[in-house]
Structure 1
Amino acid sequence: MKVIAHELTKAIKENMSIDWNLRDSARARMRITVRRLLKKYGYPPDLQKFAVDTVVKQAELMAGGMEV
């Protein structure tokens, strides 16, 4: 789990742009990245939707904390 969390954090930071949370294409790209990472580490398919939604919500919170 620690490796997955580390890679997810890295991927989110790399994909985060100024207005990523406002553009549907950028959000879709982030969701695809998260799904690929989860699949890579054998995350259960029935739990992936919830995990992807959770990661995107956390990324939104993280981006909100970065705004000045």
Structure 2
Amino acid sequence: MACELVETVRRNLTIDWTQKESVKANLRRLVKRLLRKYGYSPEKQEKATVTVLEQAESLCKNWAT
């Protein structure tokens, strides 16, 4: 699941994704879809989605290259 999450986020990043709400919304949707696919608890999906996006923001400098 983690590898699929990373690949999904990487494929959908744009140059200015941290400033565009529409891109962030799409990433949230994709992450939530993956969490549901792997049976992640619905009560914990929002926190997990926020965590994934925060980690992506901290790592995006390396992914953009």
State the TM-score, normalizing by the size of structure 2. Answer: 0.92
Displacement of 1:63 in angstroms is: 1.2
Q: Which residue of 6, 25, 38 maps to 2:3?
A: 6
TM-score (norm 1): 0.88
**Runs of 4+ displaced beyond 3 Å:** 64-68
Is the alpha carbon distance of 1:66 and 1:42 closer, same or farther for their aligned partners in structure 2, counting shifts above 3 Å? closer
| Other structure's SS at 2:39 match | coil
Identity rate of aligned residues, in percent?
A: 40
Residue in 1 that maps onto 2:52: 55
Q: Could you list the runs of 5+ residues in structure 1 that have no partner in the other structure?
A: none
**Relative to 1, partners in 2 of residues 1:48 and 1:67: Cα closer, same or farther, differing over 3 Å?**
same
Q: Which runs of 5 or more structure 2 residues have no equivalent in the other structure?
A: none
Q: Does 1:42 align with 2:39?
A: yes
> Aligned residue for 1:33?
30
